[in-house]
Amino acid sequence: MGFTRILKAVMFALTVTWVKAPAWASSKNFEESLKELESKQPIQLGVFVKNLSTGEVLSYRGEDLWYVASGVKLPIVLENLRQVDQKKYTLNSQIELRKEDFVDGAGYTNYKKAGSKLSVKFLVEQALIYSDNTASDLLIRQAGLDSVNSCIQDLVPGGFTAITTLADVRRRLYSEVHPSSEKLQGQDFILLKRSRGDEVKFRRLSQMLGVDTKEFKCKTLDEAYDNYYSKKLNSATLKAYAELLEKVAEGKILGDSTQKFLIETMTKVQTGPHRIKAGLPKKYSFAHKTGTQHSRICDFGIAWDKKSEIKTGVVIAACVKDFKSLDVAESALKSVGVALQKAGVL
C-alpha cells in the first residue's frame, strides 16, 4: 500500500474511532496536519491517544501488536519500584555488575568496571533516561523476569506479550542466523555492534560460533530481524501501553515517593528528542519512554500542561515500522504531536 493510501486510511480511522465527545474528530486542522505527511516516504504508523480529563480516545492500529523495543523498560522499572514499595529493597540497594552482564547500547553502565556496585536508583535512571540495556538487565535480575511479566499482566491483562532480557533479544536475533548463537554473551554483542555492515558482522559471528557462513539460515540482518519480529516477543498493543501510562499518571501503581521519582525521571529522558516531544507545545511537560530498534521506533508518554496536574493530561502511544530512514520515522512521530496540537487536543 502506498504512503498516500496509508495516510488516507489513518485520517479516516482517526475520524471514526472517537468515543464520547467528537470535538477532536471534527477538527479540520487535525486532518490538514495529517495530510502534510503525504509527501513522506512509505511507513506504517500506529497511534493511540486518550485525554485523561474527558475520556476521549483516538486509535489507528491501536489494537494491533507492535514491537515496543526499549518500551519494555518501563514495565521493568515499574516492577522494581513496586518491590521498593513492598520494602524488599530500596533505591539505594546495590547490585553487582558482573562481567557477563554487559550488553551493547547507550548509557553509562557499560563504562563501569565488572565488580562495581550500582544502586537501583542509578540503574532506573540509566534505563529510562538513556535507555541503557545493561542497566535494564540488571534491574530484571534484581526483580526477577517472572515478576516483571507477572506485573505487566496484572496491570494490563493480555496487553503485552512476554518480555525478555535485552541480552536475550540479541541472542534470539542472532539465533535466527544460526541456532548456536544461544551461547553468545554480553561482550560478544558489543563486538557485533561495532561491526559495520552485514558482511563484516556475519564474518565476525562466524568466527565467534566457529561455523562457516554457508551454514547461516539468513543472508541478511534484515531477514534475521523479520524472523525475530514474527515471534511477537516484547510486544504490546498501543491501547494496552496507553492504559499502562494512564495508571501511571493517575498514581494507581506506586506509592507517593516512588511515583514522584518515576515521573521526574521520565521527564528527563534524553532519547527521541525529535519524536513526539518535538511536536508538543512548549508549555507542556512530557514524561515518556522511547523504543528504537531495526526498522522499529516508538514513543510512549504522558503530556500535560505544566500549570495542571499530570492526571489531567493526555497519554500517547505511537509506533512506526518498515521505514527506510530514521529521520522520516521520527518526523512522523513529531507530526503526531503537531497534529494533536492543531486539533486542540493539547
3-70+233-342 CATH: 3.40.710.10
**Domain ranges in the chain with CATH number 3.40.710.10:** 3-70+233-342
| 289-332 per-position pLDDT tens digit | 999 999 999 999 999 999 999 999 999 999 999 898 999 999 99
pLDDT digits (tens, 9 = 90+) for 214-267: 999 999 999 999 999 999 999 999 999 999 999 999 999 999 999 999 999 999
Higher pLDDT, 23 or 261: 261
Q: CA 216, CA 218: separation in Å to the nearest integer?
A: 6
Q: What pLDDT score was predicted for residue 187?
A: 87
What pLDDT does residue 20 have? 43
**Phi (first) and psi of residue 254, to 5 degrees:** -120, 165
Secondary structure of 99-151 in HEC code, one letter for each residue: HHHCCCCCCCHHHCCCCCEEEHHHHHHHHHHCCCHHHHHHHHHHHCHHHHHHH
Q: Which three cell numbers stand for residue 195?
A: 561491526
- The Cβ of residue 178 has, within 10 Å, a number of other Cβ atoms equal to 21
Would you tell me the crossing angle of helices 73-85 and 256-266 to the nearest 10 degrees? 160
Mean pLDDT throughout 279-284? 94
Confidence band of 127 (pLDDT split at 50, 70, 90): very high
C-alpha 84, offset from chain centre: 23
- Residues forming beta bridges with residue 48, ordered by sequence position: 59, 317
Burial 268-295 (b: 16+ CB within 10 A, else e): ebebbeebbbbbbeeebbbbbbbbbbbb
Q: Are 173 and 228 in contact (CB under 8 A)?
A: yes
